Amino acid sequence: MIPDNFSYLAPASLPEVWDALHEHPDDAKILAGGQSLIPLMKFRLANPAYLIDLRHVPDMDTLAERDGALVLGAMVREAALERSPLIQQRYPGIHDASAVVADPLVRNWATVGGNLAHADPANDHPAMMLALGARVVAQSPRGRRELSIDDFLVDTMETALQPDEVLVEIHVPQPAARSGSAYLKLERKVGDYAIAAVGVQLAFDGEVISHAGIGLTNVGPKAIRAQQAEAFLVGKQPSDETVREAARLAAQAADPTADLRGPVEYKRAIVRTLTARALRLAAQRATALA
């Protein structure tokens, strides 16, 4: 449980971060909350020679609505999301997700940027961000670019970030007037990664679903968008039958592997159950908000 030797760098600005990345192209790692990276280092599964801490870089913890989007700085801690009235009231799906990430100790450190950048299919935010249609902002000496969360998440622990890029912000479109989101997770015990989890967002036009987003956690090599289920829901009322069929389609989109969190069939079944429950909850929240 003792990591290999490493040097710790604490740059005070993004350009300094880039300099450090440039100087140590092969053996540096960005450190955010450290709650994924440090455990890997303690098991010596990751042995970076340099850690570049983002903690002292200014303006990385924005949490506000701006220009039609919720802007989350990459360094916003899970605990801040959990406690924010804005998140609680307007983005209940994100609130649900942050409240089930690990345990309170971890949440005091862990960041939403780290959660996405780590691209672990077991992390909770990627699927919720898929459901919400989030966009991420990456910045490098070459400039700033925005990409969809779908394009950002490439594979297991692999994102579209270039070696010189830092994830700086996440933009979540502001919810439509009649909409609701939810994130439901089944875990073996509190603090565990998901057996499976489902993030859902529904927007309504009258009684009819006008937009649906569904993301699945830990049932594939990366967070999965349940496209067929999303398409199926649009234009329908969330009747029991519709919800069941969408849940079935979402389960079909899952591609789990058997492990100590259960066999394949079970995980698929859980996606089905949680999708149905999350859809009902999101619909209920949409009605309550309207």
Partner 1 sequence: MTTETTPIRGMGHSVKRKEDPRFLRGKGRYVDDIKLPGMLYMDIVRSPYAHANITRIDASKALALPGVLAVITGKDLDEAGLAWMPTLMGDKQMVLPVDRVVYQAQEVAAVIATERYIAADAITLIEVEYEPLPPVMDPFKALEADSPLVRPDREQKTNHIWHWEAGDAAQTDAIFQQAEVVVKQDLYIPRIHVSSIETCGCVASFDSVEGKLTVYMTTQAPHAIRTVFSLVTGIAEHKIRIVSPDIGGGFGGKVPVYPGYVIASVASLKTGHPVKWIEDRSENLQADSFARDYHISAELAATKDGAMQALRVKTLADHGAFDAAANPSKFPAGLFSVITGSYTLKAAHVEVDGVYTNKPSGGVAYRCSFRVTEAVHTIERMVDTLAQQLGLDPADVRMKNFIQPEAFPYTSPTGWEYDSGNYPAALRKAMEKIDYAGLRQEQAEKRARGELMGIGISTFTEIVGAGPSHTFDILGIKMFDSCEIRVHPTGSVIARIGVQSQGQGHETTFAQIVAEELGLPVENITVEHGDTDTAPYGLGTYASRSTPTAGAATAVAARKIREKARKIAAHLLEANVDDLEWQDYKFQVKGSPGRSVGMKEIAFAAYTNFPSDVEAGLEAVDYYDPPNLTFPFGAYICVVDIDRGTGQVKIRRFVAVDDCGNIINPMIVDGQIHGGLTMGMAPALMEAITYDENGNMQQGTFMEYLLPTAMETPVWETDKTITPSPHHPFGAKGVGESATVGAPPAIANAVVDALSHLGVTHIDIPITPWKVYAILEAHGVAEL
Residues 233-262: x where in contact with partner 1 by CB under 8 A, - otherwise, as a string: ----------xx--x------------x-x
Which residue shows structure tokens 């909770």?
124
Residues 16-45: x where in contact with partner 1 by CB under 8 A, - otherwise, as a string: ----------------------------x-
Q: Which of 99, 166, 195, 212 binds ligand FAD (CB under 6 A)?
A: 166
Q: What is the DSSP letter of 67?
A: T
Task: For residues 112 and 172, give the distance between their C-alpha atoms in angstroms, rounded to a whole number.
Answer: 13
Residue 101 contact partner, candidates partner 1, ligand FAD, none, CB within 5 to 8 A by sort of partner: ligand FAD
State the pairing for strand pair 166-173/69-73: antiparallel
Interface with ligand FAD, residue 96, by CB under 6 A = no
Report the nearest approach of ligand FAD to the CB of residue 42 (Å). Answer: 10
Task: For residues 272 and 97, give the distance between their C-alpha atoms in angstroms, rounded to a whole number.
Answer: 18
Interface with ligand FAD, residue 33, by CB under 6 A = yes
Q: Segment contacting partner 1 (CB under 8 A): 1-9, 108-116, 153-161, 214-222?
A: 1-9
Interface with ligand FAD, residue 30, by CB under 6 A = yes
Which residue shows structure tokens 């440090």?
38
Residues 167-196 that bind ligand FAD (CB under 6 A): 167, 191, 193
Residue 244 contact partner, candidates ligand FAD, partner 1, none, CB within 5 to 8 A by sort of partner: partner 1
Do the Cβ atoms of 95 and 185 come closer than 8 Å? no
Kindly tell me the sign of the dihedral angle through the C-alpha atoms of 262, 266, 268, 269. negative
Residue 113 contact partner, candidates ligand FAD, partner 1, none, CB within 5 to 8 A by sort of partner: ligand FAD
Which residue shows structure tokens 């801490």?
53
Interface with partner 1, residue 4, by CB under 8 A = yes
**Strand residue runs (E) in the chain:** 7-9, 28-31, 50-53, 63-66, 69-73, 135-140, 143-148, 153-155, 158-159, 166-173, 179-187, 194-205, 208-217, 224-225
Kindly tell me the sign of the dihedral angle through the C-alpha atoms of 37, 77, 65, 89. positive
In the complex with ligand FAD, the residue whose CB is nearer, 193 or 204, is 193
Q: Which of 16, 53, 164, 192 binds partner 1 (CB under 8 A)?
A: 192
Residue 118 contact partner, candidates ligand FAD, partner 1, none, CB within 5 to 8 A by sort of partner: ligand FAD
Do the Cβ atoms of 132 and 223 come closer than 8 Å? no
Q: Which of 90, 95, 118, 135 binds ligand FAD (CB under 6 A)?
A: 118
Residue 87 contact partner, candidates partner 1, ligand FAD, none, CB within 5 to 8 A by sort of partner: none
What is the full DSSP assignment across 125-192? HHHHHHHHT-EEEEEETTEEEEEEHHHHEEETTEES--TT-EEEEEEEEPPPSSEEEEEEEEESSTTP
Q: What does the chain come to in residues?
A: 290
Point out which residues bind ligand FAD (CB under 6 A).
Answer: 29-37, 39, 54, 74, 101-102, 106, 109-111, 113-115, 117-118, 123-124, 161, 166-167, 191, 193
Point out which residues bind partner 1 (CB under 8 A).
Answer: 1-2, 4-5, 44, 186, 188-193, 195, 243-244, 247, 260, 262-263, 265-266, 269-270, 272-273, 276-277
